[in-house]
């Protein structure tokens, strides 16, 4: 465990100083939320594929619907927990409804959803569909983090009050 921690610290120390705290804490929170989303995704995928959608005879058609349902459930859960945990410190900076933020979250995660879906379907040709989905989730999660950090929960530029040096005194305009 200590060796793994040392390796992680060595990799983090090579990042620009501005990115180091994010790599330590925000990405760890994102990973924890993502792990719970992975459990939800896999569970829903399995239940849908093996029980819920068995009336769809064609395996690949059923897999399409199962993947869509699994990703939808995991996305809703991940949005909720990322908003409450991962980017909680930015919550006060965002003045939009939860529905608007969810729309942005889905748009930001759209690429990773497409990557996960297509990669799962392609890998399911060679691997068990559960293992294929796990591999696809790992690959898609990095682009999901970057997109949501930069788009959905981005920091807003703070409006600075006028500086006394740039604001003329009130009596300047009153002089004849």
- Tell me the pLDDT of the chain averaged across its residues: 81
For CA atoms 88, 99, 156, 77, the dihedral sign is positive
In this predicted model, what pLDDT tens digit does every residue of 101-146 receive, in sequence order?
899 888 887 888 888 899 999 999 999 999 999 889 888 887 788 7
Q: 82 with 30: CB under 8 angstroms?
A: yes
76 Cβ contact list (under 8 Å, min separation 6)? 102
Residue 91 to residue 85: CA distance in whole angstroms: 10
Confidence of residue 62 (pLDDT cuts 50, 70, 90): very high
What's the predicted TM-score (pTM) here? 0.68
Q: Averaged over 137-165, what is the pLDDT? A: 72
CB 151 within 8 A of CB 144: no
């Amino acid at each position: 465990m200590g060796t793994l921690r040392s390796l992680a610290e060595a990799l983090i120390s090579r990042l620009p100083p501005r990115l180091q705290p994010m790599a330590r804490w925000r990405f760890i929170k994102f990973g924890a939320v993502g792990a719970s989303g992975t459990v939800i995704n896999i569970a829903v995928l399995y239940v849908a594929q093996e029980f819920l959608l068995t009336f769809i005879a064609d395996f690949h058609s059923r897999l399409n619907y199962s993947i869509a349902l699994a990703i939808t459930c995991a996305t809703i859960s991940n949005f909720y927990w990322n908003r409450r945990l991962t980017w909680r410190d930015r919550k006060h900076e965002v003045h939009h409804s939860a529905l608007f933020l969810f729309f942005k979250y889905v748009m930001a995660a759209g690429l990773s959803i497409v990557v996960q879906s297509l990669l799962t379907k392609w890998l399911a040709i060679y691997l068990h569909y559960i293992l294929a989905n796990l591999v696809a989730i790992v690959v898609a999660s990095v682009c999901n983090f970057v997109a949501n950090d930069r788009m959905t929960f981005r920091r807003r530029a703070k409006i600075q009050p006028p500086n006394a040096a740039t604001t003329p005194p009130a009596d300047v305009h009153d002089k004849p």
